[in-house]
Amino acid sequence: MILHDYWRSGTSYRTRIALNLKGLDYRQAPIDLRTGAQKSGAYLALNPQGLVPALEVDGQVLTQSPAILEWLEETHPESALLPRDAAGRAVVRAMSALIGCDVHPLNNLRVLKAIKALGADQDASDQWARQWIAEGFAALEALVARHGRGWCYGDQPTLADCYLIPQIYSAKRFNTDLTPYPHLLAIDEKAQAHPAFQAAHPDQQPDAD
């Protein structure tokens, strides 16, 4: 497996976590988003959307982190990142989508650049990101309080935790007040001591600053 990623990308981060939780070996091929490497001809030949991550495996290229994570779960079922029951899987997928669809896209690099192009300064851009993070985290905090037993759902990491931890990392970059979310902070603390999450952390990547 070859993972084309960027050290500080939240979608890359969540994919690394999932790969590590499943104990899979992969080689990284860093794509520097700051220099526009994602728009090079060579990379666009792999991923026409010009985004990270992309996972090369068995002669095919998988893109979009939700699809990659679902593929990993289907093809490498151990360690499972989804509950065994249909209702539980729906809850975990909803938690994941809460971040992956409603929070993360609104504070990624492309969107923040677009906001600045419309005239927002750095403070306004950061406030925009914090607004959507706070709204999403408030809902997720309630769901984790209802369904979690140490992790987002139950007592083992799931796809929801793969999404949550990179978003907390991003929230800290935007100086988001996280004190209203004690359940999420407890999961973050637990993840900091877990080898799979430690190895996936942006600071541990070969292209990190």
Q: Which tens digit of pLDDT belongs to each residue from 95-130?
A: 999 999 999 999 988 899 999 999 999 999 999 999
pLDDT in tens, 138-153: 999 999 999 999 999 9
Residues 179 and 96 occupy one common structural domain: yes
Cβ-Cβ contacts under 8 Å for 48 (sequence gap 6 or more): none
Half-sphere exposure of 44 (CA within 13 A, CB side): 6
Query: For residue 60, which phi and psi values (nearest 5 degrees)?
Result: -125, 165
Residues 53 and 100 occupy one common structural domain: no
**Closest Cα to residue 97, out of 38, 14, 169?**
14
Overall domain count for the chain: 2
Mean pLDDT estimate for the chain: 97
Residues 15 and 72 occupy one common structural domain: yes
Residues 6 and 47 occupy one common structural domain: yes
Assigned domain for 209 exists: no
Give strand ranges (E) for the chain.
2-5, 27-30, 54-57, 60-63
Residues 96 and 176 occupy one common structural domain: yes
14: domain CATH number is: 3.40.30.10
Per-residue pLDDT at 109: 85
Examine the fold and report which residue of 79, 97, 126 is the final residue of a domain before the chain moves on. Answer: 79
pTM confidence score: 0.96
Assigned domain for 203 exists: no
Find the domain containing 118 and state its range: 86-196
164: domain CATH number is: 1.20.1050.10
pLDDT tens series, the chain, 209 aa: 999 999 999 999 999 999 999 999 999 999 999 999 999 999 999 999 999 999 999 999 999 999 999 999 999 999 999 999 999 999 999 999 999 999 999 998 889 999 999 999 999 999 999 999 999 999 999 999 999 999 999 999 999 999 999 999 999 999 999 999 999 999 999 999 999 999 999 999 999 99
Per-residue pLDDT at 110: 87
**187 close to 152: Cβ distance less than 8 angstroms:** yes
Residues 73 and 106 occupy one common structural domain: no
